[in-house]
Chains A and B, each alone.
Chain A
Amino acid sequence: MLSQESLAQIDRELAKYPADQRRSAIMGALRIAQTEKRYLTNELIEFVAGYVRIPPVAAYEVATFYNMYDRKPVGKYKLTVCTNLPCALSGGYSTAEYLKQKLGIGFGETTADGKYTLAEGECMGACGYAPVMLVNNHSMCSHMTPEAIEKKLAELE
């Protein structure tokens, strides 16, 4: 269900914890699985749970508790914009609004061509660089003024 590469990465996560605490690796394992498959289907969650050797419902709890796991299909690029107060004071909402207009979608939606998904984020711990946007959960972009957004979108072609 997952590539050898991903399994090797999960093994590296497992190695961080005591042998009888494999469960500790579930967050990393789900992240790795999601990175490969873009989102977590129930089958994938069950597979990862089996690999880590925990009950599937325990993995499901984790996959539904943490915000960054996606359990529905997302576009090729998931753009998460922080709208928490510090970002909002520095243009977080306008950034979000700009993206909504530009892509023609609202929060939680994906463009028809499946390229972009827009999401509202909570504080990313980078408020000094507001407005902040996250691409595919892992790549942070600071100072997302309209010009910066245009530039970023061009890179994402």
Chain B
Amino acid sequence: MTVYAKGVVFEGVDFDNPNHWRLEEYVKRGGYAALKKILNEKITQDEVIAEMKTSSLRGRGGAGFPTGLKWSFMPRNFPGQKYLVCNTDEGEPGTFKDLDIIVSNPHALIEGMIIGGYAMGITVGYNYIHGEVFEAYQRFEEALEEARAAGFLGDNILGTDFCFQLHAHHGYGAYICGEETALLESLEGKKGQPRFKPPFPASYGLYGKPTTINNTETFASVPYIIREGGQKFLELGKPNNGGTKLFSVSGHVNRPGNYEIPLGTPFADLLEMCGGMRGGKKLKAVIPGGSSAPVLPADIMMQCTMDYDSIAKAGSMLGSGAVIVMDETVCMVSALERLSYFYHEESCGQCTPCREGTGWLYRIVHRIAHGEGRPEDLDLLASIGDNIAGRTICALGDAAVFPVRGMLKHFRSEFEYMIEHGQSQFAALS
């Protein structure tokens, strides 16, 4: 179920129409107008990038890096091949917005990538799609065919000499491939093991060539920005937090789903849109930006607005916009155990602190959750976390530590109780 308030990415989409994703429908609701505008009006690359900067669009993949700025880093006049890559490897627990984009409005993404290619002088792009969503991958491939057949994609787009090839690459089950350099390795046919940066993809990316990578939602926001202007997009949100954003709400709400709302919307409003807490239970905690974000207790969360700055101030991250809502019945030890298992399972294994540390973290949380915790365990968890965070090649190491830190910060007593009594006041996840 996808609900939207003010649409950018899902502008005009009629979710009840099974054909709404098709090119024909997309064009009807204004699709590819942005591309046509650029090509017909001969808008320059610099103008496109300037518009992106005005919009203050921040990357929707998690890090929130300003997109216009990223695009300006691409060495546009680099003589060899350059690549544009879209990150649809959505695997961050709680996130499912990009899936809806490629299923329900794939042409917005395709158009956004074509415009990106134009702006940065790139002629080849790939969209890396999460392994578990094969049907969405097939849908996207079909949309690509439509775009090619209609002359929006491929050689001499709309009769101009601008060419852009776009292909879909299907992942096969590895969360780490969401990390952009792991994604590039995977795209090269290797294990998805992140690269050390620098060099950054803008200078050494896919096949060692300059590469720009953006999230699906980021690209899908581009047609709107070009068509309606960056200023209008910015004004949908708030300064430094331009536009609308998709929030994937899961957990104990009545209507889980994707909500496209302006950045800066109070969390309380979002919760209401979702039909409130399931079964009328009390809100206990929220993980506001995907499983890697530190958990926030209800009282802090209810004070937040849904934007990068507000959530950061509260001590967490907006991340990918995955909002995991937990009610009063949830055992936080059990919740952390599941998350720690995930990071242990998904560590790519190349760097020592993450490879060895995620397993250690999990084993300690596991023993606490199974009534075998020791008094020194909480300090040990903190210390191991300190030895992982900031010492690894990629941010998965940090991502594994943040949930632990968040839980220990806000729910330490629950852990202490469990260590002392050998059991929780709450029921384990079941």
Contact = CB atoms under 8 A, between A and B. Distances in A.
The answer on direct contact between A and B (beta carbons under 8 Å) is yes
Contacts of A124: 130, 132-133
B252 interface: yes
B264 interface: no
A86 B94 contact: yes
A4 interface: no
Given A89-B330, A127-B94, A127-B256, A61 B338 contact: no
Contacts of A16: 126, 167, 169
Interface residues of A, number: 48
Nearest to B99: A125
Given A65-B174, A67-B174, A134 B191 contact: no
Interface in A119-145: 121-130, 134, 137-140
B133 A125 contact: yes
A119 B95 CA distance: 21
Contacts of A26: 189
Contact of B170 (A31, A84, A128): A31
Nearest to B335: A85
A62 B191 contact: yes
Contact of B250 (A21, A30, A31, A89): A89
A128 B258 contact: yes
Given A67-B173, A86-B94, A123-B92, A130 B250 contact: yes
A6 interface: no
Interface string B357-388: 00000000000000000000000000000000
A83 B190 CA distance: 27
Contact of A93 (B90, B251, B430): B430
A85 B170 contact: no
Interface string B128-142: 001111110000000
B133 A140 contact: yes
A117 interface: no
A22 to B, nearest CB: 8
B287 to A, nearest CB: 8
A65 B92 CA distance: 18
A122 B339 contact: no
